[in-house]
Amino acid sequence: MEIAKKITLLFAILSAVIISLLSGFVWYFSNEFAFEDFYKRLEARVNIAAQIKLYEDDNNDVYAKMRNQYLERLPSEKEFIIEAGSNQSTVDRELPKVFYDRINAGFMARYRVDNHFYAGKFFKNSQQGYVVIVSANDPFGFRELKDLQKILIIGFFLSIILSFIVGWRFSNYMLMPLRNIIKSVKKIKAENLHLRLDVKSGSDEMSQLAQTFNNMLNRLETAFETQNNFISNASHELRTPLTIISGEVELAIKSKDDAEKQHKALTKIKDESDRLEHILTSLLGLAQSGFNGKNQPWEEVRIDELLWEIKASVNQVHPNSRIDIDLNTLPDDDEQLTLKINKNLIKLAISNIVSNACKYSNNNPVTINLESKANTLSIAVTDLGIGIPQTDIQHIFEPFYRASNTNDFKGYGVGLPLSLNIIRLHRGSIAIKSQEGIGTEIKVLLPIKG
């Protein structure tokens, strides 16, 4: 069922419930109080009849005259005066026992059958006690109550129809922006990801939804561009060593009688094979770092201990490097140093950063600083190397991109993108600050409590 129909149906049901309750209250209180005035008129006649018929008073004639002149006679009005304890069959119908029990208790009793009303009370003169009952019809009040019942029933059905129509128009009006969003989203495909939804001014849910779609489209467009660039660059990087290997193989075949040329060709083939293996390993790591991490092992690791392992592994690759680990800002609480991470991936990410710092610093000291602040663990790697030109900083996390001043250094441009993917997998971030010719500081920020 469409949302508009659901809203309309729900709106009609709620309206029906509310109108039913309101009609019930109106009917109940109208039924309770519609005959109150008529009962009081009967009770007044009970008192007057008792005064005139049961008590000897000089004013009785005056009371009788006033009743005849000023009190209208009610439809089918009858008076019944019954001696206490005698047979009560003189009344025109059998009245319930509770009616007489209330009279015997000294109260004014009331009773109604359809539109025929009874009021009675016990009186006692100097001789004995009597029960005085007055009955009459109230066709007007009863008719008004019937008319009210018809009006409430007709009004109920008309209100339901009206609420259904209003609910349908209201739901269509409220869902119109959503339909426009759906229509616009259907137009966006892989070949036109640059299109965006029209975001209306305001902070309502529809504007937020449109803005959320636009943000998602921004990420998708960036992802598509990154993927295209990645495939293009990867194809180029893989094709180059393969072309060189193919050419050297042909040269070695042609130079079968020249051992020196064959040795050079085979050495070149080995170098390019190693390069190709390194590129493929990096690409595999870059792809694996894009997983959600659910199927990878996560464990509690002390980061300060991990840094010593990283230092040892980087020293094996760069034996002449000088790496200093600054632990002066360590927190007193060991829990601030322990994170639940994928140890191998984090080790790979930070090792790439430290290895780059050593490679581009020409054996100048590299400092690793560990600090915990505001539920965030900060690992800052600082070198005194060649630095990064300002125009290149925004691109260094793109796969296979290399800064313009790194031509004298061997590299493939996949280390930092791989590290960024791993850090993002751990809900962290990387900040970089660099000045060409002075040095670079790369700071890894990891949340302590996830």
Can you give the pLDDT at residue 379? 92
Of 222-231, 259-268, 370-379, which gets the smallest average pLDDT? 222-231
Distance, in Å, from the CA atom of 373 to the CA atom of 360, rounded to the nearest integer, reads: 29
Model confidence pLDDT, tens digit, residues 224-246: 766 665 565 566 556 667 777 78
Q: What is the CA radius of gyration of the chain?
A: 49
Can you give the pLDDT at residue 239? 66
| Beta strands, E only, 68-168 | 78-83, 109-113, 116-124, 129-137
DSSP state of 331: -
| Beta strands, E only, 293-425 | 299-302, 323-326, 338-341, 366-373, 376-383
Q: What is the mean pLDDT of the chain?
A: 80
pTM: 0.46
Model confidence pLDDT, tens digit, residues 41-68: 888 888 888 887 777 766 666 666 666 6
Answer whether residue 76 shows pLDDT above 80.
yes
Please give the structure tokens belonging to residue 277. Answer: 């293996």
Can you give the pLDDT at residue 232? 57
**H or E, element range at 14:** helix 3-33
Average pLDDT over residues 319-333: 84
Answer whether residue 247 shows pLDDT above 60.
yes
3-state class (DSSP) for residue 246? helix
Specify the long-range contacts of residues 207-216, CB closer than 8 Å, at least 24 apart.
209/178, 209/181, 210/177, 210/181, 213/181, 213/185
Answer whether residue 413 shows pLDDT above 80.
no
Can you give the pLDDT at residue 255? 75
Nearest C-alpha neighbor of 134 from the set 192, 165, 95, 168: 95
**Helix ranges, 360-406 (H):** 390-393
Confidence of residue 178 (pLDDT cuts 50, 70, 90): confident
Model confidence pLDDT, tens digit, residues 181-236: 888 888 877 777 777 777 777 677 778 888 888 888 887 776 676 666 556 556 65
Distance, in Å, from the CA atom of 76 to the CA atom of 82, rounded to the nearest integer, reads: 19
Answer whether residue 390 shows pLDDT above 70.
yes
Residues 6+ apart with CB under 8 A from 415: 282, 352, 353, 355, 356
Q: Which residue has the higher pLDDT, 272 or 388?
A: 388
Distance, in Å, from the CA atom of 331 to the CA atom of 445, rounded to the nearest integer, reads: 16
Residues in the chain: 450
Please give the structure tokens belonging to residue 316. Answer: 């094996």
Of 56-60, 352-356, 423-427, 435-439, which gets the smallest average pLDDT? 56-60
Distance, in Å, from the CA atom of 439 to the CA atom of 394, rounded to the nearest integer, reads: 16
Can you give the pLDDT at residue 338? 86
Can you give the pLDDT at residue 143? 79
Confidence of residue 374 (pLDDT cuts 50, 70, 90): confident
- Check if the beta carbon of residue 392 is closer than 8 Å to that of residue 404: yes
Confidence of residue 118 (pLDDT cuts 50, 70, 90): very high
Percent of the chain whose pLDDT exceeds 90: 7
Model confidence pLDDT, tens digit, residues 331-351: 777 788 888 888 877 888 888
Confidence of residue 441 (pLDDT cuts 50, 70, 90): very high
Q: Which residue has the higher pLDDT, 436 or 201?
A: 436
Model confidence pLDDT, tens digit, residues 276-285: 776 676 566 5
